[in-house]
Amino acid sequence: MKAIRSKTARTAVTTVLPTLILLVAALLHGCGGATSSAPTADTTPPVAEQGDLIITVTDAPGDFANYTVDVLQLSLQRANGDVVETLPFTTRIDFSELTEVSEFLTIATVPAGSYDAVVLTLDYSNAEIIVQDENGTEHTATAIDTNGAPLGIFDVRLELTTTDTIRIAAGRPAAFSLDFDLDASNEIDFSTAPPGVVVDAVLLATPELETDREHRARGVLADVNEADSEITLKVRPFHYRSGNFGRFTLAVDEQTRYEVDGVGLAGAEGLRAVAALAENTPIVAGGNVRGMSMLADTVLAGSSVPWADADVVRGVVTGRAGDTLEVRGARFEFRDGSRIYRGTGTVLLGPGTKVTGPGIDTPLTTQSISVGQRIVAFGELADAGSQDTKTLDVSDGRVSLRFNQLTAAVVDAEPLAVDLYWLNGRRPASFDFTGTGVDTMMDADPDYYEIDTGALTLDGLESGDLVKVRGLVSEFGSAPADFDSRTVIDVALDSRTAAFKAIWPEGTQLPFHSISATQIDVDLSAAREVLAVHGVPLEFLTPLANILLTAPDIRRGIYAVKVRGSDEIHLFRDFADLADELTRQLNDGASLRHIAAHGRYNAGSNELTSIRAGFVFTKANEAG
């Protein structure tokens, strides 16, 4: 950890962007001294007490296939100006990987105390941003500030409310979750070539681990306690092979599924296999948090971790011809630790290709890899001397299957056939289903996609209902059925997780029909608005003239207010306090430009019960 220093001035840039990770620390006045029969001066410096802080980073969804920036530094500040800088070194983060998961960034041992502000230093000089248009086509984009200038290095300051001050105490672990809202922080302009992304960051932070999101812990093995069913990692977030990011202990149980060196295992057998591994073996675990720990439902170990000992491509199979796979949204990861993103890649199968899948009990072969299937492929670059190649040869390697998710409208309820909207986040037009059927007449049809539901109960499912289905794509050349389901969810529209965004390009001083301590009625007559209900295609939603943002009944929310021209973001946990601040800004002559809100949406009452939201204002002399 770097030494505590007095606050120094930094050049602030008005637009700030993603970067989230909140490492915190604090300082405490230690006490020292001793007494003896002969009084002597104690020159030993006091030792500050310390505590552990668990920091996670996540973000809300946006139209990005890749959003990679450098986080140069992260510091915590006290009201008296003391600062603690805690990031070991520049950390490169692809925030598009975090829309469905929170990543454990670091477990820091820091001086005890309380801090009320966080400053993040970001560098967009080498940012990699790829955006998706409404057809799913990908475009490389340029990040700019609100004045149209290219982004470089800048700071963003996050002011914490009194109740959410970061407090570190000896012997009592603390946690902090930092959420960078891609959707709220960026405006994409497809009218230019390349597209421009205007960055005006909205960061949210809560002093706890979020129980409603899946978490991911990456690192190398430190220790296994079989008696207590625990695995301790030396944390290595994202794709780092080294660095001191602390240690984290996760829990496992009999339901935990493992893949250890390409072998699928479960429960105690899987834990024993992990215990037999050498220290510093790569580990990736996913699951849900409970208290200050995580109960893992999947654990990958050894060569099953993508970056362990092979060149790797991740993505979704969008076409197959013989033993050649086309993979869209491909991410190449090289065994030497470097990474590169490619929109499309090719994977070459062979007789020596091994096919596995964590949590998949059925026998797998190369025929198990069909169009629409999510994969992680381990092999050799076809041209190992060039990172520009897009071809990975796995003829003597391995392909690991991942579970897939589709969203669709029911065409026939029994047997289940659906009209596809999305398959693994991609529109049906992205896929070439040639060869998926037992003959050409039986190839998968996205307008009538047939699903094997096995013994699943589908009571009450009717034509026209919206469903989400999780499972595996059927073997190549075996359709129908096209998909083997593990779960089928009838999507109700009375309480769905949703994200709402409204933009007034010139700003407005009349954004609300009404505002109170419990509800904000947003007037959308002059706004560009998007309501994205999780798992619900836009075609299912009626265009909005207004929307009601309402306060949660029990739990507190987290709300951010930012004024362009200021590098500060102010956080509020109480909806009434947010309403007061919005009213104050409007009364002071500021114009509202941007809202991004998240919560649960009820289509019948047109209400979004908002647990988190960001509001961006423009000063009166900067409107437009």
Domain boundaries, the chain: 50-206, 214-304, 311-402, 404-490, 496-622
What pLDDT, on the 0 to 100 scale, is given for residue 12? 32
CA pair distance 567, 390, nearest whole angstrom: 41
Token duo for residue 432 = 């070439």
What pLDDT, on the 0 to 100 scale, is given for residue 436? 96
What are the tens digits of pLDDT across the range 228-264? 999 999 998 877 777 788 889 999 999 898 988 878 8
CA pair distance 329, 94, nearest whole angstrom: 14
Instruction: Give per-residue burial for 246-267: e unless 16+ CB within 10 Å, then b.
Output: bebbbbbeeebbbbbbbebbee
Q: Do domains 214-304 and 311-402 have the same CATH topology?
A: yes
What are the tens digits of pLDDT across the range 405-439? 888 888 998 899 998 888 887 788 889 999 999 99
Residue type, 119: V
Q: Assign 271 a pLDDT band (cuts: 50, 70, 90).
A: very high
Cβ contact 564:618 at 8 Å: yes
Highest mean pLDDT among 340-349, 529-538, 614-623: 340-349
Q: Which residue has the higher pLDDT, 114 or 434?
A: 434
Three-class secondary structure of residue 225 per DSSP: strand
Q: At residue 65, what are phi and psi to the nearest 5 degrees?
A: -85, -20
Cβ contact 597:611 at 8 Å: no
Q: Please, which residues have CB within 8 angstroms of residue 328's CB and are 6 or more apart in sequence?
A: 315, 316, 318, 343, 344, 426, 430
Token duo for residue 274 = 């992990």
CA pair distance 610, 218, nearest whole angstrom: 31
Ordered DSSP codes for 280-343 = T-EEEEEEEEETTEEEEEEEEEGGGSTTSSSEEEEEEEEEEETTEEEEEEEEEE-TTS-EEE-S
What are the tens digits of pLDDT across the range 7-46? 333 333 333 333 222 323 222 233 333 333 344 444 444 5
Three-class secondary structure of residue 404 per DSSP: strand
Token duo for residue 34 = 């001793």
What pLDDT, on the 0 to 100 scale, is given for residue 429? 84
Cβ contact 549:519 at 8 Å: yes
Q: Which CATH architecture has domain 214-304?
A: Beta Barrel (2.40)
Token duo for residue 78 = 């006290």
Q: Which residue has the higher pLDDT, 52 or 134?
A: 52
CA pair distance 276, 23, nearest whole angstrom: 33
Q: Are strands 174-181 and 50-60 parallel, antiparallel or unpaired?
A: parallel
Q: Please, which residues have CB within 8 angstroms of residue 388's CB and are 6 or more apart in sequence?
A: none
Share of residues in the chain with pLDDT > 90 (%): 26
Please, which residues bridge with residue 187 across strands? 198
Ordered DSSP codes for 69-126 = EEEEEEEEE-TTS-EEE--SS-EEEEGGGGSSEEEEEEEEEEE-EEE-EEEEEEEEEE
Q: Are strands 186-189 and 196-199 parallel, antiparallel or unpaired?
A: antiparallel
Whether pTM exceeds 0.85: no
CATH pick for 404-490 out of 4.10.240, 3.30.420, 2.60.40, 2.40.50: 2.40.50
> By C-alpha distance, which of 29, 179, 27 is closest to 116?
27
Cβ contact 419:447 at 8 Å: yes
What are the tens digits of pLDDT across the range 383-392? 644 455 578 8
Please, which residues bridge with residue 218 across strands? 284
Cβ contact 248:107 at 8 Å: yes
Q: Please, which residues have CB within 8 angstroms of residue 250's CB and are 6 or more apart in sequence?
A: 217, 230, 231, 232, 233, 285, 287, 293, 294, 295, 296
Token duo for residue 239 = 């794709």
CA pair distance 458, 412, nearest whole angstrom: 12
Q: Which residue has the higher pLDDT, 287 or 537?
A: 287
Q: Please, which residues have CB within 8 angstroms of residue 85's CB and are 6 or more apart in sequence?
A: 1, 2, 5, 73, 74, 75
Domain 311-402 has CATH 2.30.29: no
> By C-alpha distance, which of 316, 424, 427, 451 is closest to 370?
316
Return mean pLDDT, the chain: 79
User: Tokens 């579970």, residue?
Assistant: 403
CA pair distance 314, 343, nearest whole angstrom: 11
Share of residues in the chain with pLDDT > 70 (%): 80
